[in-house]
Amino acid sequence: MDLGLRGKGAIITGGSVGIGRAIALELAREGCHVAVNYRRHDEEAREVVEAVEREGCKGLAVKADVASFADAHAMVERVRETFGRLDILVCNAGITWDGVIWKMTEQQWDQVIAVNLKGYFNYNRAAAIVFKDQKSGKIVNISSINGLRGKFAQSNYAASKGGEIALSKSLAKELGKFNVNVNVVAPGMVLTEMMEAIPQEFTATAMAETVLGRFATPEEVAHLVAFLCSDRSRHITGEVIKIDGGQYI
């Protein structure tokens, strides 16, 4: 199914590994020029760019701190100069630093909020300026079902993910009259590199919560994101779409 994305320009934050990588490659297969933001994975980011270019599209990797307001705006401008346009923003970069609230340090709280929430503000704001002026654009913010329900020992992470949802709904109201769609994808547990560091007892609990009896793959999340980036979803905005195998219910 052709989603009509050929020639469009996209930014994916946290696009070098995991869900972000899968989204970058899916959009490239649909014909998008793709820029990925990354912080640590130099080799992986280079491999993503090479994979994008093998699809006949332009690729770009930008090493930048999503928590930096200046870096976000600089990346948006660089992408517009390189691709000649920007049509899609997918915010995906995020971290966890877990702990029960009575043991959580100020640094744990501040760092998770800075990356997961301020980082989304930085890129959403920078892209919104472009999309508002050109009267078109798609923003997809990757949150989590834990932003809807909370999670033991993740008050910082859950607060950041809930904040992403509130941010997205507000932006959907602000940008709708400019023909800009803003939506949220909220995965449950996904089979990524990050999951390998989670203790087995926690993954077993998460598996027991699902009704389909399995975890999502990054590619399944990417399929949903690509749909939301297309005009096939042009009448969907301000929505939070869970992709969790029934884990939330």
The residues that are catalytic are: 157
Q: Tell me if 96 sits within 8 A of 43, measured CB to CB.
A: no
Distances (CA, A) of 104 to 23, 146, 151, 185: 32, 18, 14, 27
Amino acid at 69: F
Q: How far apart are CA 49 and CA 218, in angstroms?
A: 18
Helix 42-54 with 18-29: angle, nearest 10 deg:
20
Cα end-to-end span (Å), the chain: 30
d(CA 4, CA 24): 16
Three-state DSSP state, 203: helix
Relative to beta strand 88-91, strand 33-38 is: unpaired
Rg of the chain over all Cα atoms, to the nearest angstrom: 17
Beta bridge partners of 34: 10, 59
